[in-house]
Amino acid sequence: MAKARAPAKQSGELRGRTPKQRMLAAYRGLPLDRPPVAPEFWYYYPARVLGVDMVAFEREVPLWEALLATFRRCGCAGWGAVFPTETDPDRRVETSFAEVEEGVFRETQTCTWREASFTTRRLYSLEEPSWIEAYPVEREEDLDAYLEMRLSDRISWDTAAASEAHARVGEAYLLEVWLGCPFFDLISDAMGFEKAVYYFTACAPERLEAWRDRYIAFTERLVDRVCRDAVFESLVIGCSSSCNSLIGPQMWRRWDKPYIRAVCERVHANDRLLHVHFHGKSMETAADFAELGIDSVCPFERPPGGDVDGYEGLVRLRELLEDKVTMNGNVHTVETLIRGTPTDVRRQVREIKRAFAGSHRLIIGTGDQVGRETPEENVLAMIEEGQRRS
C-alpha cells in the first residue's frame, strides 16, 4: 500500500471550509479534518426535490440550478457540470417536439452542415431520463462527414452563461465544465454502441488514430478557451460506453487512455484540475488513473455494477491509486441507499473511511447517481456519518 500521509490537524480553518473548498482540497490531496461527503445528485433526486417530472426537468430546468437546490437542502458538498454554448456558422439546426403516446414525447433534431444532414430522435418520458431512439449516423459511410461537422475548426464556445452559473453557485458546491466523453463515446454517440464496436473492430487503426488526434486537438482547444475566458477551478470528462464494463480495459487503453492523457496534461498546463467520471468496473484500470495524474475519479461502484467489493476491495483500490488520485464514491445506490436502512448506510460509510484512513485523497460519494426512490433518511444518514469526525 502507498505510504499514508500524516493525519491533518483539526483547525478552525479546516473545519470552516465551504463545501466547494472542501471538494477542491480533496481533489488536491490537501489536509482536511474530515473528507467531503458528496452524493451524486444528477437527474432523479433533484427532480424529486423540485417536484417536477423528467420532461420538465431536462427541458426547462438548468441542471446547475437543480443541483444547487438539492445540495443546499441536504447540507453537503458535491459536484455538478455546466456546458459551454457551442456555435458553428456552418451548422443549421431544426428541432420538433411532440407527444407520441401518453407520457412519452419525441424530439427530432436535424443538423444540416454544408451538404450533409444528420437527424437524431430522442424519446422523453415523464418518469425516466431521455434516451436516444435513432442516432445521427445510420450508415458507416456517413461517419466521416459527421465527424468533420462535430470537430470543425470553425466551432467556437461562449462561456458567458456557464460563468454566470458558476457565480450563482458560489461556494455551495463544485461546479465544473463538462468537456464531453472519451474517443470511443464520440463514435458511439454518432452511431450507437453496437455499431461502434463493429466499427472499431473493422476500421483501419491509422484511420481511427487520425480521428482520435483530431478529437484531442478539438478538446484541447475547448480547454484553452474555457481556461482563458472563465474562472472554473475544475473540468470533467464524462463516460457513456467508454468503460471496462462495456469495452474492456484493453480497448480503453488503446483508444481512450491517450485521449484522457492529452486532455489531462492540457488541463494541468492551464493550472486547472481534472475530474473523470468512469462508471462500472474500475479495478483493472485504477493504476492507469494514477499513471495519468487525474485529480479525482468517481464513482468506484460496488458489485454487481462495479468491482470495488467491500473493505478489502477499497484497500486494494487505495494501493492501486497510490494516494495520487482522489477516490470519490462507493456507497451502493441500490442495495444500501434504496433497499438498506440508515444503519446499513452508516456501516458502509465507516468502511470507506476506515479503508482510506490517513489519506487526504477521499470524497465519500455514491456509486453513480442517487435514485428517485431513495429514502431521505438514508441520504441524511450517509451525510451525517460521513461528516462525523472520527
* 142-195 tens-digit pLDDT: 999 999 999 999 999 999 999 999 999 999 999 999 999 999 999 999 999 999
pLDDT at residue number 5 = 32
Intervals of the chain under pLDDT 50: 1-13, 15
Tens of pLDDT, residue by residue over 45-68, are: 999 999 999 999 999 999 999 999
Show the cell assigned to 37.
461527503
pLDDT of residue 325: 98
| pLDDT at residue 389, rounded to an integer | 84
Q: What is the pLDDT of residue 17?
A: 86
How confident is the model at residue 3, as a pLDDT? 32
Predicted confidence at residue 359, as pLDDT, reads 96
Q: Biggest alpha carbon distance in the chain?
A: 63
Instruction: Name, in order, each residue with C-beta under 8 angstroms of 355's C-beta and a sequence gap of 6 or more.
Output: 311, 314, 315, 317, 318
pLDDT at position 280: 95
**Per-residue pLDDT at 335:** 96
Cell of 95: 428541432
- DSSP annotation of 234 reads E
pTM, two decimals, is 0.93
CB 226 within 8 A of CB 262: no
Q: What is the pLDDT of residue 1?
A: 31
